[in-house]
A and B are shown apart, each in its own frame.
Chain A
Amino acid sequence: MVLSNLIFYIFSASCILVYGVGIKDLLLTVENPKNVFLYSVKTLLSTICTVILTWVISTYVLGPKSLSDIFPFFLLFFALTFSILLSFLFKLLLKKEISEFVLTFFIAFLAVNESTTLLHGIIIAIVATIGFYALIPIFYAIKYRINISLVNIELKKAILILVSIGIILILLFAYNISWFNFGVI
């Protein structure tokens, strides 16, 4: 179960590239990456805790009363709590300012929405977070290559990064499409 979810959520339906969950954060972090490992640890811990609590409440408390539609409120509450708690702990112990919230919220939302069991939800949260932080070196390399290229237009970084993402996605999906059928190209 772990392996099939890993391959699905990193390659076929990558949280960042297909759902577009953290694209803005990714492209902004790549400009100036600092403390990436600590950010990844913090996001991992806070998403796992949020997913566990929200899933339990949504299934055992809200589910029997057919109110499971309002789980985003609890998700917001838990995501804020754990984000603030963990950034406070990091500041106390390691004296570094590490805080982010939007990625935690959306990955936890995806995990609670699409999971069938609690273990499945935790696996989705872990795999999506690792997928996000594993893409940073790739996009750093693409940005470096764009900077030293000889193209000469304004906003060339924006245009060429978006085209690179499109081509990466075509490569990821290429084996799964029947190319010579009408309707694709």
Chain B
Amino acid sequence: MPTKHQHNIYLYVLSLLPILLVTPARLGCGMIIILLINLSMILGTTLRFFMNKIDTGNTDRLILLLFLLFLTIIYKRLLVIFSPVLGILLSFALYFIPLSSLCLDFLFSKDNYDSPRVFGINMLYSGFFSLFLFLLFILREVLSFGSVSIPVKTGIKAFEFFPWYSSFWATIPGTFILMALIFLIVVFIDKQLDIVRKINIEKTKA
């Protein structure tokens, strides 16, 4: 039986899937998505923190949703000014972020919003997701194109390390199978750590 902790990780990773499937498998595109996730989290937390001090009744969820959509639209406009190619490539993927449970799960929760510690907690989670997405994008790009890329004005600039001919891991079925393999590795590591924890507990008892 999966524990509650593992079930939560499963749900968060499932909510990351639409973003991964629609974005091209390049690190340059991934950096732009990671920046938007962090911006949404920090500005949304700020808004919710200040709204908690005023009595808004039941409308605070609606105001948060509208604010996150507004932020995404402005971000997309700025992206189009910086680089039109990237704006067209990522225009569909950016709209998945304000409504996925990555940010909304933390912004809609009822506790924690009385003290400024909530900023630390939320940014810790969003930092964890950002790191996970970053490593995933690097893995997909190196395994399928053999390069690492950054976003520039004309689109994506790729630095090739070695010539590579197989692009299966950047495709859509490849993403699903890569996620399944990552789950397998995480479960294996969790089991080994469990054995270590049990040995530690027995040592402290004896």
Contacts and interface: CB of A to CB of B under 8 A. Distances in A.
Interface of A: 17-21, 23-24, 27, 69-70, 72-73, 76, 80, 102, 105-106, 109, 113, 153-155, 158-160, 162-163, 165-167, 169-170, 173, 182-185
Contacts, number: 97
B2 interface: yes
A154 B176 contact: no
B166 interface: yes
B97 to A, nearest CB: 12
Give 8 nearest A-B pairs by CB, closest first. A20-B18, A166-B176, A162-B180, A20-B21, A169-B173, A166-B173, A166-B177, A24-B14
Contacts of B108: none
A109 B96 CA distance: 10
Interface stretch (B34-42, B65-73, B125-133, B152-160): B65-73
A20 B184 contact: no
Q: Is the interface of B mostly helix, strand, loop or mixed?
A: helix
Interface residues of B, number: 44
Contacts of B77: 69
A169 B176 contact: yes
Contacts of A21: 18
Nearest to A172: B173
6 contacts: A72-B73, A154-B6, A155-B6, A162-B179, A166-B174, A185-B166
Contact of A185 (B62, B72, B101, B168): B168
A20 B175 CA distance: 11
B17 A20 contact: yes
